[in-house]
Amino acid sequence: MSFPPRKVLGVPEAKFDPEVSTGSTSETALPGPTLAEIRQARVRIAAVVTTTPMEKSRFLSDTLGQCVHLKAENLQRTGSYKIRGAYNRIAQLSEAEKARGVVAASAGNHAQGVALAARELGIRATIFMPLGVALPKLQATRGYGADVVLHGSIVDETLQAAAEFAERTGAVLIPPFDHPDIVAGQGTLALEILDQVPDVANIVVPIGGGGLISGIATVFAQLEPELGRHVRIIGVQAANAAAYPPSLAAGHPQAIATLPTIADGIAVARPGALNFEIIRQTVDEVVTIEDDETAKAIVVLLERAKLVVEPAGAVGVAALLAGKIDLDGPTVVILSGGNIDPMIMERIISRGLAASSRYLIVSIPLPDRPGQLARIAEIIAEANANVVEVMHTRHGSGLQISEVEIEISMETRGAEHAEMVLQHLRDEGYRPQVEL
């Protein structure tokens, strides 16, 4: 989904310095935090938040023909950008509010951000997490000193329990994205991007509720006249949890029925009200990405960039690799988090290898006589592929009485090599069927 380009006001060319630049530049004021408030947030969080690396990706740059940088927020404290907004919000509470403590509901990154921020500020934190939350996320949240309450099988139930706790105890509820202080904290990332890639032309950002992209987009909208150019802001959502495209088409936030997705960190059923308004006015495009494409991107980031990135953090790279975004000029892709359960990671890597045709599962009907399996293995070996698993059955649907079916899992070097292996089998008279 594309939107009309934002209007760039005419200004004389000048050297840009985001630290001394003054103020809002839009003809009509945007909702949410001002540029001055975002700069103040940067100062406020500086002692706690790490300035994360900006790595040029030679692989993506060569593949796409444009200079592509990776903003590694997966290396941020707590493993994601969420500490920025959480600390900025909690640090501004009154002494009376701090004394009552804070509460949040989250299955992962927001929980850890709130827990660490509260610990650094000496405030009690209670975090509600759903039953079945990934063990590493649960352990990390407790490790930051929060009291963790497991409640609800879905996040909506967990959120409701946190809200009831806040009402009952007076604890301050810290929202994950829909608050100006949260948006301002996430917006500090935009100032870092300008420091590290001053000539940035495109920024690709994962979207869940919209806290991160609204913070980044509002900075560039307010600075646009002084920059003297338009910086495109592109959001990426998981196709199974994409609330923004229909909401933007309708002109107001809409709730959707989300489907399971590996990018659970951005699986949000309804956009934040404040976030939506900022995004509606400032974001240029929102695209969606399939889980297989995300899994493939995770493998690329592991192999080519040596970076561990969770699915929600990898959707921007997935969108580039899938050709969903047209680039013109230097591009920054935000890797928003790296908190991934090793058990889930193993499955995702297998899925990513399969999506890249580097892990192939093939079923082949065979005459039920000795030597057939050995011949199949020989053909595959001659094609320089590697068999890793074999399953054998006489009960497959469509088999003749005199036939058996084998299912072979093999490693290949990519789509072209996989097709060569299949063709070798066909040339020998076999009928291989690729299993999805």
Residue ending a domain, among 321, 353, 385, is 353
Residue 240 and residue 340 share a domain = yes
Task: Specify if 10 maps to a domain.
Answer: no
Of the candidates 238, 208, 232, 204, the one whose C-alpha atom is nearest the C-alpha of residue 71 is 204
High-pLDDT (> 70) share of the chain, %: 91
Q: For the stretch 266-277, what's the b/e string if a residue is b when 16 or more beta carbons lie within 10 angstroms of its beta carbon?
A: bbbbebbebbbb
Calculate the average pLDDT of the chain: 89
Bridge partners, 55 (sequence order):
70
- Structural domain including 362 reads 357-434
Co-location of 196 and 340 in the same domain: yes
Q: Is residue 4 part of a domain?
A: no
Residue ranges of alpha helices (H) inside 74-230 are: 82-91, 95-100, 109-121, 135-143, 155-169, 180-196, 211-227
Structure tokens at 15: 């050297």
Are 118 and 216 in the same domain? no
pLDDT for res 397: 59
| Residue pLDDT, tens place only, 8-57 | 322 223 233 444 333 434 445 889 999 999 999 999 999 999 999 999 99
Co-location of 258 and 294 in the same domain: yes
Give the residue-averaged pLDDT of 377-385. Answer: 91
Per-residue model confidence as pLDDT tens digits over 211-250: 999 999 999 999 999 999 999 999 999 999 999 999 999 9
Query: Domain boundary at 132, 152, 173, which?
Result: 173
117 and 207 part of one domain: no
Indicate whether 238 and 262 sit together in one domain.
yes
Q: How many CA atoms lie within 13 A of 129 on its CB side?
A: 26
| Helical H segments across 251-290, by residue range | 273-282
The predicted structure's pLDDT at residue 320: 98
The region, left, alpha or beta by phi > 0 then psi within -120 to 50, assigned to residue 233 is beta
Residues 250 and 311 in one domain: yes
What CATH number should be reported for the domain holding residue 385? 3.30.70.260
Residue 375 pLDDT > 80: yes
Q: Does 219 lie in the same domain as 248?
A: yes
Q: Which CATH number do you get for residue 278?
A: 3.40.50.1100
Domain annotation covers residue 140: yes
Q: Of 306, 328, 353, at which residue does a domain stop? A: 353
Is residue 329 situated within a structural domain?
yes
Q: 394 and 304, same structural domain? A: no
Question: According to the model, what pLDDT value does residue 367 have?
Answer: 83
User: Within this chain, do residues 324 and 361 fall inside the same structural domain, yes or no?
Assistant: no
Cα torsion angle, 394, 395, 399, 400, sign: positive
Q: How confident is the model at residue 298 (pLDDT cuts 50, 70, 90)?
A: very high
Owner of token pair 């690329």: 300
Q: How far is CA 84 from CA 113, 174, 318, 380, in A?
A: 8, 13, 25, 52
Per the domain annotation, does 403 fall within a domain? yes
Phi and psi angles of residue 361, each rounded to the nearest 5 degrees, phi first: -115, 120
Average pLDDT over residues 149-168: 90
Stated as kind and residue range, the H or E segment containing 318 is helix 311-321
The pLDDT tens digits of the residues spanning 91-122 come to 999 999 999 999 999 988 999 999 999 999 99
Residue 184 located in a structural domain: yes
CA dist., res. 245 & res. 59, Å (int)? 30
301 and 217 in a common domain: yes
The helix (run of H) or strand (run of E) holding residue 40 is helix 35-45
Same domain as 270, residue 163 = no
Per cent of the chain over pLDDT 90 is: 70
Q: Residue 2 domain-assigned?
A: no
Number of domains in the chain: 3
Answer for the pair 122, 159: CB distance below 8 angstroms, yes or no: no
6 located within any domain = no
Average pLDDT over residues 358-366: 87
